[in-house]
Structure 1
């Protein structure tokens, strides 16, 4: 099984993904760890990534996750998932997959980004993240969670969604 926590930078993906990994005793995978140094430098300089920049990053993650699947390891991935074609690449992996889309307004996310220390993604790139985001409204395996909720409510909502999904998987 693969749970992907997705959304723009600063929405709380890594925090929620780590909490879910701990709760369900799954491997936590941070997509940021797969970025090339060149991509990290580009973003740190305030330059948005292109799809051409993102493709090797996605390929690297998918290769890693295929290895995890071969080892029968289930994972929770914190990953932006901005583009529909990129989400599709993860659907092709040998996992049952669900996406949890943390969505919210930029005015909620921007202060969070400005308070982060040590992250290569500057808050100046938040607008470019929204511009790149292809809304997953027509994707049935993407469940939306509003980040205006409290962190506790976000976690509870995510756990309920995942539990219902797991029940359906086990019943099938």
Structure 2
């Protein structure tokens, strides 16, 4: 199974994804690793990415998903996956790709972004991500509220994934 921790910046995708992968004894990759230097620079400068910026990034993540599936291993990715079309590219009809939507209030997200150090994402872009977000349906993703500790979030994900299987 491939799990994709999704949500806007500040939702805890990386922290939760790493802890989830450790709990499931599988690998982890952050989608930020797949961004071009130009994309990272653009975001650092406070400019939102366009779909044209995102297409190659999403295709490279899908290739990584396919490689993990071909190897027959479970894996966790952290990826914003803000739009339905982005999730469609990442899923590509693969029933073993499961999205976990990490959602929270704007206030919780802004507080987390304000406390984050050393990340290329400019916190002023939060609103552009919220504007871009097309929340998944409950059929499309497992929903988890981020207003709890990362450990509690991981516990809830493991419980919901187990029920879903």
Q: TM-score range by the shorter chain?
A: over 0.9
- The answer on whether the counterparts of 2:102 and 2:144 sit within 8 Å (CA) in structure 1 is yes
Q: Secondary structure at the match of 2:4?
A: strand
Q: Structure 1, unaligned stretches of length 5 or more?
A: 167-172
Q: Secondary structure at the match of 1:18?
A: helix
CA distance in 1, matches of 2:149, 2:32: 24
- Is 1:15 aligned to residue 15 of structure 2? yes
TM-score scaled by length of structure 2: 0.94
Q: Which residue of 1 aligns with 2:161?
A: 162
Moved over 3 A (4+): none
- The answer on whether the counterparts of 2:91 and 2:97 sit within 8 Å (CA) in structure 1 is yes
For the aligned residues, what is the CA RMSD?
Answer: 1.4
Q: Which residue of 1 aligns with 2:139?
A: 140
Q: Structure 2, unaligned stretches of length 5 or more?
A: none
What is the count of residue pairs matched by the alignment? 165
The CA deviation at 1:118 is 1.2
The more displaced of 151-160 and 50-59 is 151-160
The CA deviation at 1:93 is 6.2
Q: Which residue of 2 aligns with 1:32?
A: 32
Matches within 5 A, 1:1-172: 1-92=1-92, 94=94, 96-137=96-137, 140-166=139-165
TM-score scaled by length of structure 1: 0.91
